[in-house]
């Protein structure tokens, strides 16, 4: 494939290195120094764009690709509020968008297990659920997109929880028993750690995923780029992995 890489931080460089080993080409790399290169002339011959930037930049990057007819795979998190608008544009343009809060195969297995466990635990209200996510100090959004996805799954399966909140936020009048607390920790160079805990007075049950390398995310992003070739529509990791 001929891939346009939008965002050339640690994640972008990992995708480039892994992609080249697999035989893919990266004729266009967009970063802070050359955003103007995201144009029709530079994108000629590009099969797909992989976008890992910032919450502020991602929507504009994706819109530009969709308007130019380029399939785009985005792993940027923190811009969910604009997602419905961009999905609408994708449908209107007959374009292709693959978006995921986490491209790790292991994390997406965690998503499947999280939903099933939440469904079971809803029958046992004595257990209080909470979540902790830990990432490197460079991560701009909190909680992580993965933590939000996990929390929303739990809320969908719960008959007594009505919102999630970032630990430290002022609790609403509904009271803490109706809220799922997420603690977001930023330390060192942690690649990503997510833990869901169900705790009662007599025991504790937990699900945990610990990313050891960015290679897991890069591998998933490249698989997603290969997956969308020749396809039109809106896709996610559930389409790719069929979990």
Q: Which residues are catalytic?
A: 135, 139
**CA-to-CA distance for 15 and 139, rounded, in angstroms?**
18
Give the phi and the psi of residue 87 in degrees, each rounded to 5: -60, -40
**Which among 88, 80, 1, 72 has a CA at the least distance from the CA of 30?**
72
Asked whether 129 and 197 are in contact (CB, 8 A), the reply is: yes
Residue in 234, 80, 74, 63 with CA at minimum distance from that of residue 151? 80
Of 131, 132, 137, which is closest to residue 190 (Cα–Cα)? 137
């Amino acid at each position: 494939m001929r891939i346009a890489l939008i965002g050339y931080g640690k994640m972008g460089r990992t995708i480039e290195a892994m992609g080249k080993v697999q035989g893919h080409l990266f004729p266009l790399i967009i970063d802070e120094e050359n955003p103007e290169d995201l144009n029709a002339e530079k994108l000629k011959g590009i099969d797909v764009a992989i976008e890992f930037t910032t919450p502020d930049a991602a929507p504009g990057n994706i819109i530009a690709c969709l308007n130019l007819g380029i399939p785009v795979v985005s792993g940027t998190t923190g811009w969910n509020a604009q997602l419905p608008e961009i999905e609408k544009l994708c449908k209107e343009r007959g374009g292709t968008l693959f978006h995921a809060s986490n491209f790790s195969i292991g994390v997406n297995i965690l998503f499947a297990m999280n939903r099933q466990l939440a469904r079971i635990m809803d029958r046992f209200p004595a257990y209080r659920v909470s979540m902790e996510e830990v990432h490197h100090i460079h991560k701009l959004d909190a909680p992580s997109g993965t933590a939000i996805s996990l929390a929303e799954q739990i809320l969908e399966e719960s008959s007594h929880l009505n919102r999630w909140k970032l630990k430290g936020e002022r609790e609403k009048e509904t009271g803490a028993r109706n809220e799922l607390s997420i603690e977001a920790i930023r330390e060192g160079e942690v690649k990503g750690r997510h833990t869901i805990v169900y705790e009662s007075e007599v025991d504790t049950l937990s699900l945990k995923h610990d990313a050891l390398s960015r290679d897991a995310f890069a591998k998933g992003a490249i698989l997603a780029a290969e997956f969308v070739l020749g396809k039109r529509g809106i896709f996610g990791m559930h389409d790719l992995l069929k979990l």
